[in-house]
Chain A
């Protein structure tokens, strides 16, 4: 493949493929970490959803 006249197009295509996959995986992982940390900090301040309180037998 190294001697192929179109190596630039092939390598650039696979680089775009790699960047797309890395970008998508990084997006979901960073977003997950951010949402989990925000949710944990809200819950640490005593904020709980109705379903969580019901499960713990709190409230009416």
Chain B
């Protein structure tokens, strides 16, 4: 019964109905979480004893970096769904997530640079963490370029899914780069086997901001998926129009949307 209700969501029309119902609520909860997170960032979290006020950059840099990697992981899971089960919503999910992941990655790179200059004395260093993160940004751009190069959505989805799976090798490299190599970037201080080393007064605002970023991703991803489903419907109707049909559509794109 539960499996059937999950499978029902595979129908894009039902999925659109669900998205239309939950999106306003999700957007509201995201905005409230951001307000709470930013309040904690500026009025609850203390200045760092070494970095001073500059530590406040952490509350956007770290969640942006986490979400950049999480988005790629979601794209990888969707790519498996696309290649193995040919799930139409999996294709849509991969395509919709890429620009959001690219934006989070760019934000992490920019804020990291702005944090690095006063703390390290350099805007950029070619250390393993920064370089692997730059590779992630290039991967996102490459996936988006590949997607737009192939016109037929089904073929584009397969090519993008394969490249996404290959690119996933970079995610553990980013995560463990600070352990495997000597880097200027500090090692992990939150997700560690022996627990967080960061003080709770700094940790809690960081976690609230991370939840806000996660909710933002969920909201934007669902909204972008809705747009992509509508885009595919438009493509189907245009194909029908071009072939002179007025009623039925039997193209792969029509079946997908």
Contact = CB atoms under 8 A, between A and B. Distances in A.
Interface residues of B, number: 44
A2 B230 CA distance: 47
B237 A42 contact: yes
Contacts, number: 105
Interface majority SS (helix, strand, loop, mixed), chain B: helix
Interface majority SS (helix, strand, loop, mixed), chain A: helix
Given A13-B111, A13-B115, A51-B13, A28 B227 contact: yes
Give the interface residue-count category, chain A: 35 or more
A23 to B, nearest CB: 7
B104 to A, nearest CB: 8
Nearest to B55: A10
A27 B228 CA distance: 12
Given A6-B53, A9-B57, A28-B227, 10 more contacts: A10-B56, A12-B114, A13-B57, A17-B111, A27-B99, A29-B223, A31-B227, A35-B231, A38-B234, A50-B247
A59 interface: yes
B226 interface: yes
Interface of A: 1, 4-7, 9-10, 12-14, 16-17, 20-21, 23-25, 27-29, 31-32, 35-36, 38-39, 42-43, 45-51, 53, 58-59
